[in-house]
Structure 1
């Protein structure tokens, strides 16, 4: 296997990204095809794709805000997104299950953090399930609080990284 290639998403990536999103997330947790298309169209700089051997293996997508409200469902459709804002909000961190357990999610997250730092962003925010809190702490995120969000009928935890 060759080294991963990292790039911005393009509209032609929508279908494959939607497919991976539905494999990786349970039920209502997964973003819709429309939300993924919107994120690619409106903020490709914050939609990082990782390719392995010419195929999309995973991605991270995000938006930016001046004031972060993690439980804001409309923001998942980039309502209130401002590319110039200093705070990044990750919406999906997704790796095709066929490529999990090989260190690719670490490579993907590290590249995303590097890119956001290079863009002059100040913080990266995300929500995760309890079983992923320690993983994100390993990357340098700090636990903030349990989230009031009930997205997908699940319990979520807010995390932040100061860049």
Structure 2
């Protein structure tokens, strides 16, 4: 079974970071993803989805130092659902993405500089025990490095 989310979007606000009683840091922010489509009349429409993002520990610390409202980021994580009771005793439910890795794609709004690489390299893998860098400088593969597409490739998507 797999629970994997990959998003590329813009921060809706600066990360809200706090430390819990046990010392763990948590960061929260919203991330907007957009897509365009043609409606029945042939007019282009934009659809924006807002995602609630939660980051923990060292990833939250990195977010506090590097992320600002408006930045475009690549984010990997997992989808989670939480239920709780509000102050009035009403049951509430929310869906969140618990981010495990992010990379700045575009820092056009007030950032410290961006990186145009959308996708992480092996160095960026949070589970790679040899990873000593929090941000990779690995270049995107060139078209010469990409595998050629052959007629035998019969993918269902």
Same fold by TM-score greater than 0.5: no
| TM-score for the superposition, normalised by structure 1 | 0.32
Task: Point out the structure with the larger helix share.
Answer: 1
Task: Point out the structure with the larger strand share.
Answer: 2
| TM-score for the superposition, normalised by structure 2 | 0.33
Task: Return the index of the structure with the highest Cα Rg.
Answer: 2
